[in-house]
Structure 1
Amino acid sequence: MPQAPLKAVIFTALPVEFQEVRQFVAGVQRVKHPLGNVYEQGAFQANGQVWQVSIVQTGVGDSKSALQTERAVTFFDPDVVFFVGVAGGLKTDDVGIGDVVASTKVYGYESGKAEEEFKTRPEFGLSGFGLIEEASAEERSETPAWLTRLNASAGVDPKLKVGPIAVGEKVVASTKSSVCQFLRQHYSDALAVEMEGYGFLAAVNARSRPLPAIVIRGISDLIDNKNDDTHQEPEAVRQQKASHHASALAFQLLASYAPAQGLIEQYRPPRQVNDAVWNHLFSCLQDIPLSLLVALFTDQLSPEQRDILGALGNLTLLRQAFRRLDNLDLAIAWVGHIIRSAEHPPAGIDAFEVPLALTAWYAEYHPTEPPPPPPPSPPGYLLIGLEPKDDQGRVAIMAELHKDGAIDSDLLSPDAEGSVKEPEEALYQHLSQAVSKAEKVKTIEFFLSWQHLCCPIHEWKADGGLGSPTPLRRFRNTVVRSLDRAMLGRADEWFDTLTQQWERLQALDADNISECCHHVELLDCDKLDVDDESKHPILKLLTVLPDDKDDLLNLLTILLNSGIPVWFWAYKTPDVTPLSSAINQLLTADNLKEVATLAETIRKRRKDLPHLGVLFDCPTRRPAFASVSPYRQPAA
């Protein structure tokens, strides 16, 4: 079933603006309003979505803009609206002729009180947040997509600025005019000045269902030397180009929307707030100066909310902003901050009293505090023990799941066996079964006997969920632990020394990790300076393990007696310097706090460290399958 088109209405004031917008729309037809207005309507398609675009010419002036906006929006019931046209550039350091300004807000600068000196009472309209975000993304992009929508005669690429626009009924023609001086004094952040945008946004924002809207203006002239520069193009040409540039941005914003993701700004406020709630709240705030409210709230607000407060001049405007946002949660947070600040005034805030009515309002509307979230559970571990059955690589396979303080030993049958020499079908099947039952547990600790430390466990295969053998390094974190330390008769003694070294390991920070590494390049067990008094809980063995079984057993015995919990070695003869550097990068305080963290880091870097072996023994997690077994001497 074809997807229904989304609806957009684009407003313009001048014929040249209307004509440039129309160039982006296909199949244009006239549409008549019951009251006599004649609009034009066509289709715009981008990213698989069809837009029904209606074009409205309001005429010049804010009052006409407001009237025609309300009439057209009620008639078409659009999903998004734009006002597109030309404007004069106010801040010549920021915008030039041909550049485009997308509004964050629009000031109605003529609002105020005419006394001996005119006193401003700022009114403003806010653009839709999602549209501002889309325009801002284009502004900071190194390859702006909207520029690709310009026709070939556009010449130099225009710039895009996202910021405030000032609106009034007067044509500002000179920097020496009183209006221009007034704007620079009271609306110094405004980038451009025009005559329709405030009425447009006021009409849109007054609706019961807020509608995403934005004003987009191409700069056709600058207030400095307006129309006096003999080297610039005629005004009609400048207006045509500025209108074209503004239209290109408007249609790029339409193209950026993805309706399936709700980017049309479907308005889902935390609550639908009745006007009586705002009336009640602001009646309670009458005795607190607005300047104090702004000082208290600014550090609690997002940049967009700070932007709102920066333009407010009285409580009435503040109430209008809250009504526009329709966010009771925000109001509750603000009032709570007022009450807490009265009890404990922040630096720079004089003591003040909170009206009892405001305290009562807060008690009525403040929601019950939700319970704190439970602490995250520690990561689970799959423990797999491979106990030698002979000297040919046959092993008994044991598996346990340690998660949330419980141990599940019912993962494999008691007679599960396989081979670690050229791992075959039986080992693959048992590993796949254990991994499947452990479900989402990501880290596997392999308990290997000294004979099998040369086996690269990360290359062993199991079913990764697609029914085919997959190396463990692709979907699980793996680490070696000592089966001999866990199962032999001296286990308690060895675990005592391991615990001591583990405590040293946990106390390490970034400044002393390197000092606690025992660095070995040429292996000579007779000269290996580690014992149970060693202050090096990390062994960097920058070579392969011995091929001779007696030497391997001797090495293992020394390491078990030393209690060293973390060993690194190479499965193949390494290039010492790069290997040492790579291990140093793994040795961070965070990685050494938890086995799963280090194993995860190694798995992500396996492509660069294919031949790195690591043993990480944690004394706090002992397998239930650890039983007293005879110490297996190497075969003669």
Structure 2
Amino acid sequence: MPYERPFAAVVTGLPLEYESMRSLLTGLRREQLSETLSTELGDLPDSPWQVALAKVSSHRDAAILDFVVRQLRPDALLFVGIAGSLRDDVVVGDLVVATRTYAFQGGKQTPEGFYARPQSWHPSHRMEQVARSALRGEFRVHFRAVAAGDITLNDEHSSLLNQLKRHYNDAVAIEMESAGIAHAAHLTAGVDTLTIRGISDVADAARMPKDHQRAQARAAARAAQAAAVVLRALKPPPPRPTHVAYGGDHVDFHGSTFFGPAVGKIVPRGDG
């Protein structure tokens, strides 16, 4: 489902994250991807970018995201939302742009102890460099690793926090969605990806914000604003070809999957 204008997909996990990003878009409309799945599209003001919003609740929705990405074929894919801090120098209200995303729950428990078997993914180099330039001076932002898994951490003395510090000591934030989403993006070649997280809480109860809901809303809003800043600074790719001219009868395999025999002739296309 290619688009003539540059097109980005923004993935969120919580309703407040979705609404924070949605509030920055204009001309909202619904796009039907299949009989049971649709997405909301909008325009990012002061930019050429169209943005599709998608919501996933955990890594188990990665298959749905993979379908969405393959249907929409975005030029950029951003994971935007909130996270918890793992470090004293990363405080509530800060932003974290992930330079690496760890799926920290993989491993093997033995009588000798736990052996981590992590997976990790990097953002696209282009998106990271654009973010470093665009966000400089705009926010208090950290370009560091994040850890992702289906666990909420709210105890500074937990075994999980000890495990993270022992095996993933470069991670400064923890959240729940990015690992599965990053894996889905990894399977889709050619998509620029980036994770942006607003810090809404910390593992240390003594440092937790008194108004947790307000802190979450503020963190989600900052992450959405940062995503908009990055997209406005991101140079759109060249326009996609919307039509390929052929001479005579042909069988077009471009962007399609066929099972069984087919009879045709190979002709030069001229689009690389």
TM-score by length of 1: 0.36
Change (3 A) 1:111 1:210: farther
Letter in 2 for 1:120: A
CA contact (8 A) 2:134 2:233 kept: no
- Of 124, 132, 135, the match for 1:136: 132
Give the whole-Å Cα distance in 2 for the aligned partners of 1:35 and 1:242: 34
Q: In the alignment, does 2:120 pair up with 1:124?
A: yes
Give the whole-Å Cα distance in 1 for the aligned partners of 2:31 and 2:14: 19
SS of the counterpart of 1:243?
helix
Q: In the alignment, does 2:139 pair up with 1:162?
A: no
Q: In the alignment, does 2:191 pair up with 1:198?
A: no
Query: What is the CA-CA distance between 1:35 and the residue it aligns to?
Result: 4.5
Structure with the greater alpha carbon radius of gyration: 1
Where in structure 2 are the equivalents of 1:261-280 lying within 5 Å? none
Letter in 2 for 1:224: D
- Of 63, 72, 76, the match for 2:60: 63
SS of the counterpart of 1:50?
coil
CA contact (8 A) 1:135 1:162 kept: no
SS of the counterpart of 1:42?
strand
Where in structure 2 are the equivalents of 1:212-251 lying within 5 Å? 212-225=192-205, 229=208, 232-251=209-228
Give the whole-Å Cα distance in 2 for the aligned partners of 1:138 and 1:160: 11
Matching residue of 1:253: 230
Give the whole-Å Cα distance in 2 for the aligned partners of 1:9 and 1:35: 20
Where in structure 2 are the equivalents of 1:169-568 lying within 5 Å? 169-207=150-188, 209-225=189-205, 229=208, 232-259=209-236
Matching residue of 2:252: none
CA contact (8 A) 2:29 2:42 kept: yes
SS of the counterpart of 1:41?
strand
Query: What is the CA-CA distance between 1:50 and the residue it aligns to?
Result: 1.6
Give the whole-Å Cα distance in 1 for the aligned partners of 2:204 and 2:114: 24
Give the whole-Å Cα distance in 2 for the aligned partners of 1:248 and 1:68: 26
Give the whole-Å Cα distance in 1 for the aligned partners of 2:97 and 2:151: 21
Query: What is the CA-CA distance between 1:33 and the residue it aligns to?
Result: 2.6
CA contact (8 A) 1:173 1:223 kept: yes
Give the whole-Å Cα distance in 2 for the aligned partners of 1:98 and 1:35: 40
Query: What is the CA-CA distance between 1:29 and the residue it aligns to?
Result: 1.4
Give the whole-Å Cα distance in 2 for the aligned partners of 1:184 and 1:193: 12
Q: Which has the higher contact order (CA 8 A, sep 6+)?
A: 2
Query: What is the CA-CA distance between 1:19 and the residue it aligns to?
Result: 0.3
Matching residue of 1:19: 19
Greater percentage in helix: 1
Give the whole-Å Cα distance in 2 for the aligned partners of 1:71 and 1:114: 34
Matching residue of 1:10: 10
Aligned length: 235
Query: What is the CA-CA distance between 1:206 and the residue it aligns to?
Result: 1.6
Give the whole-Å Cα distance in 2 for the aligned partners of 1:85 and 1:18: 8
SS of the counterpart of 2:92?
coil
Give the whole-Å Cα distance in 1 for the aligned partners of 2:7 and 2:224: 17
CA contact (8 A) 1:109 1:166 kept: yes
Q: In the alignment, does 2:100 pair up with 1:105?
A: yes
CA contact (8 A) 1:128 1:213 kept: yes
Unaligned 5+ runs, structure 2:
239-272
Unaligned 5+ runs, structure 1:
148-157, 263-636
SS of the counterpart of 2:157?
coil
Query: What is the CA-CA distance between 1:258 and the residue it aligns to?
Result: 2.2
Change (3 A) 1:24 1:99: same
Give the whole-Å Cα distance in 1 for the aligned partners of 2:100 and 2:128: 10
Letter in 1 for 2:40: E
Q: In the alignment, does 2:91 pair up with 1:96?
A: yes
CA contact (8 A) 2:91 2:202 kept: yes
Where in structure 2 are the equivalents of 1:27-106 lying within 5 Å? 27-46=27-46, 49-59=47-57, 61-64=58-61, 66-93=62-89, 95-106=90-101
SS of the counterpart of 2:110?
coil
Letter in 2 for 1:171: T
SS of the counterpart of 2:44?
strand
Letter in 1 for 2:49: W
Query: What is the CA-CA distance between 1:67 and the residue it aligns to?
Result: 2.0
Provide, for residues 91-118 of structure 1, a one-character-per-residue CA deviation record: whole Å limited to 9, x for no partner: 122x111111011110011111122211
Provide, for residues 443-484 of structure 1, a one-character-per-residue CA deviation record: whole Å limited to 9, x for no partner: xxxxxxxxxxxxxxxxxxxxxxxxxxxxxxxxxxxxxxxxxx
CA contact (8 A) 2:127 2:234 kept: no
Letter in 1 for 2:119: E
Give the whole-Å Cα distance in 1 for the aligned partners of 2:152 and 2:133: 32
TM-score by length of 2: 0.81
Provide, for residues 274-302 of structure 1, a one-character-per-residue CA deviation record: whole Å limited to 9, x for no partner: xxxxxxxxxxxxxxxxxxxxxxxxxxxxx
CA contact (8 A) 2:28 2:41 kept: yes
Give the whole-Å Cα distance in 2 for the aligned partners of 1:205 and 1:43: 26
Letter in 2 for 1:30: R
Matching residue of 1:422: none
Query: What is the CA-CA distance between 1:233 and the residue it aligns to?
Result: 4.1
Change (3 A) 1:45 1:4: farther
SS of the counterpart of 2:17?
helix
Identity among equivalent positions (%) equals: 27
Provide, for residues 21-59 of structure 1, a one-character-per-residue CA deviation record: whole Å limited to 9, x for no partner: 00111011122331412321111143xx42110001112
Letter in 2 for 1:234: D
